[in-house]
Structure 1
Amino acid sequence: MKLVLQIRLLPTPAQATALEATLRACNEAAAWVAEVAFETRTFRNFTLRKHTYAEVKERWELGAQAAQHGPVNGPCHPGPRGGWTRTQHHRQ
């Protein structure tokens, strides 16, 4: 059985600013990782992380978890109700 819980964040104005800055950094990093993937023809998740993790962490000042998972999984974008959603990539 899978349980899904939908929550809504209610950050303070300072927290909202920090969260938005982090999401924008993750999106920039994701765009750069995509460029690296196509330039090097590297599409496997683990191999791509080996090529990009250190620079993503340093260049965008992201924490380890954000640098490890965010850029490789793809960008986020503003959602329909003002929140942020992750772009879904489906294999065919």
Structure 2
Amino acid sequence: MKLVVRVKLLPTPVQAAALEATLHGCNEAATWAARIAFEEDVRRPLGLRKHTYTEIRER
């Protein structure tokens, strides 16, 4: 059985700013990781993790 629930977030202005900053950071990290995957010709998640994990955590 599949259950679908619609949720509407109603953050405060401070929470909205924090959510936006988090999403922006995640997007930057994903874009950078995709670039590394292409440059290093890495196709598997574990291989990509070896190239990117430490730096993404530090950022």
Is the TM-score greater than 0.5?
A: yes
- The runs of 4+ residues in structure 1 deviating greater than 2 Å are none
Residue identity in the other structure for 2:39: E
- Does 2:48 correspond to 1:53? no
Unaligned stretches of 5+ in structure 2?
A: none
- Does 2:26 correspond to 1:36? no
Give the number of the structure whose residues are more often helix, by fraction. Answer: 2
Sequence identity of aligned pairs in percent? 63
Q: State the structure with bigger RCO (CA 8 A, min sep 6), 1 or 2.
A: 1
Unaligned stretches of 5+ in structure 1?
A: 60-92
Q: 1:1-92 maps to which residues of 2 (within 5 A)? A: 1-59=1-59
Q: Distance in 2 between matches of 1:13 and 1:19?
A: 10
Change (3 A) 1:2 1:50: farther
Number of residue pairs matched? 59
Larger radius of gyration: 2
Give the number of the structure whose residues are more often strand, by fraction. Answer: 1
Q: Secondary structure at the match of 2:50?
A: helix
